[in-house]
Amino acid sequence: MSIWEYANPRRFMGWSAPLVPLFSALAALLIALGLVWGFFFTPEDYRMGSTVKIIYIHVPSAMMAINIWVMMLVASLIWLVRRHHVSALAAKAAAPIGVVMTLIALITGAIWGQPMWGTWWAWDPRLTSFLILFLFYLGYMALWAAIEDPDTAADLTGMLCLVGSVFAVLSRYAVNFWNQGLHQGATLSLDAEENISDVFWLPLLVCMAGFGVLFAALVLLRTRTEIRLRRLHVLEARDRTGRKGSGEG
């Protein structure tokens, strides 16, 4: 069977049904474990004090904010090239999750920045590109809501997603492009010399996995809802046409 057949709405509803409760339970477990571990059982950092505990929510949410946009980009490209409706609906379903993740990253970053940098906000490359990414998410959702024809909405939001991807990439690599601004480099790195201590990164890794699985659970749940909503609109349209036809006849 071709991989594209899994994107058939009926088939998608079949295979995704058992995964939603499974991923939900796994996400709850991982997030609870990671946050309890990070909050209660990790030491203070010698420079940041107890504010280091904010990384367990800030880093996973920032990571997801960027990765969700990348997922939306891939889904939009599949829609634009192959016209698979489920991929367009999955991109639409992911956007509100991305908005919340970006908002969490911005809020927790500001709360951390106030005592560490002495300011809630700075027009730093990474912070600014994250704010623009947040606005792109809002614009993307507004565009879906503003266009009545779902295929036209999927086309236009797909194009917007391509443009917004520049800022998703900038958000990720802004600190590497410009050697200025307040934001430090990546918290996790494959280079062992630059990485944070094990005592911090192990619970952080659990939190990142938890946020990732939570996204998987929510995007499946929300895509299933979008598929049902599409079917509902079709039935309502048929009802209206039938009533009009019988009235005229």
Partner 1 sequence: MMPDLGKYGAEVLSAYGATIALLAVLVWASWVRARRVRAALEEAEARRKDAEG
* DSSP class of 121: -
> CB-wise, 51 or 195, nearer to partner 1?
51
Instruction: Please report whether residue 47 would count as binding partner 1 according to CB under 8 A.
Output: no
* DSSP class of 84: -
Q: Closest by alpha carbon to 108, among 58, 39, 171, 66?
A: 58
> CB-wise, 53 or 126, nearer to partner 1?
53
Query: In a 10 Å sphere around its CB, with 0-12 CB exposed, 13-18 middle and 19+ buried, how is residue 155 labelled?
Result: middle
> CB-wise, 50 or 176, nearer to partner 1?
50
Instruction: Please report whether residue 169 would count as binding partner 1 according to CB under 8 A.
Output: no
Phi, psi (deg, nearest 5) at residue 190: -75, -20
Give the type of residue at 176. N
Compute the CA torsion angle 108, 110, 111, 117 (nearest 10 deg): 130
Q: In the set 7, 26, 33, 54, which binds partner 1 (CB under 8 A)?
A: 54
Instruction: Please report whether residue 115 would count as binding partner 1 according to CB under 8 A.
Output: yes
Q: In the set 80, 107, 141, 202, which binds partner 1 (CB under 8 A)?
A: 107
119 dihedral zone (left: phi>0; alpha: psi -120 to 50; beta): beta
Instruction: Please report whether residue 44 would count as binding partner 1 according to CB under 8 A.
Output: yes
Q: In the set 231, 240, 241, 244, which binds partner 1 (CB under 8 A)?
A: 231
Instruction: Please report whether residue 91 would count as binding partner 1 according to CB under 8 A.
Output: no
Angstrom distance (rounded) from CA 197 to CA 97: 30
Instruction: Please report whether residue 61 would count as binding partner 1 according to CB under 8 A.
Output: yes
Query: Residue 223 in contact with residue 16, Cβ under 8 Å?
Result: yes
Instruction: Please report whether residue 102 would count as binding partner 1 according to CB under 8 A.
Output: no
Cα radius of gyration (the chain)? 21
Q: Min. distance of Cβ 77 from partner 1 in angstroms? A: 25
Q: Min. distance of Cβ 122 from partner 1 in angstroms? A: 17
Q: Where are the alpha helices (DSSP H) in 41-124?
A: 55-82, 85-117
Number of residues that bind partner 1 (CB under 8 A): 38
Instruction: Please report whether residue 29 would count as binding partner 1 according to CB under 8 A.
Output: no
Q: How far is CA 113 from the centre of its chain?
A: 23
Chain residues in the site for partner 1 (CB under 8 A): 35, 39-40, 44, 49-51, 53-54, 57-58, 61, 96-97, 100, 103-104, 107-108, 111-112, 114-115, 214, 218, 221-222, 224-225, 228-229, 231-232, 235-236, 238-239, 242
